[in-house]
Amino acid sequence: MIEKNCLYCKIIFNAKHGRCGFCSEECRKTNASEYKKKWNKKNDNYAKSKRAKWYDEHKETTIKRAQEWRKNNPELCKEYAKKKRLNELHEAKIRQRHKNVLRDYCRRCGSKKNLNLHHIDYSGDIDKTIVLCNKCHFEEHKREWRKELKFGELK
């Protein structure tokens, strides 16, 4: 057993091993994430330097593995490249549509403030969107949620 101070309440306790940081399960559950945030903030430069060091040490092998994989999987590479091009085209359409939204108006109430794009059927098709203000967009989703609840009760 090792005597340690609890990272949260500073009480001295007997730890089973050196990794233990909290005196009780309650302290650990309530404060572990807060402690991790503080530790990460304090040790961010250290972690970055470790990642950079690892990358420098393994750069050549990582690049070789990637080249070998591309050589052995040309069909997948073509498929990934095609998907990437399609995604870029889709994103360009979305950006253009968003630019148009800024000059548009809500299709329900006519407001020109706080406009959003609402996907009518969630297929990902940009042409199946409608411009709504924040209030109408929320109301639209509320209406959809009610439908889902009714259908869920029937099952």
Q: What is the pLDDT of residues 7-36, one digit of tens each?
A: 778 888 887 766 677 788 788 777 777 777
Residue-range definition of the domain harbouring residue 119: 73-154
Q: Cα separation of 32 and 50, whole Å?
A: 23
Domain identity same for 84 and 24: no
One domain for residues 86 and 147: yes
One domain, residues 88 and 41: no
pLDDT category, 154, cuts 50, 70, 90? very low
pTM: 0.36
For residue range 31-84, list pLDDT tens digits in order: 777 777 777 777 778 777 888 888 889 999 989 999 999 899 999 888 888 888
Shared domain for 89 and 150, answered yes or no, is yes
Residue type, 42: K
Is the same domain home to 41 and 78? no
Domain count, the chain: 2
Contact 138, 118 (CB under 8 A): no
Q: Would you say residue 85 lies in a domain?
A: yes
Per-residue model confidence (pLDDT) at position 71: 93
Residue carrying the six token digits 């306790």 = 13
Same domain, 39 and 88: no
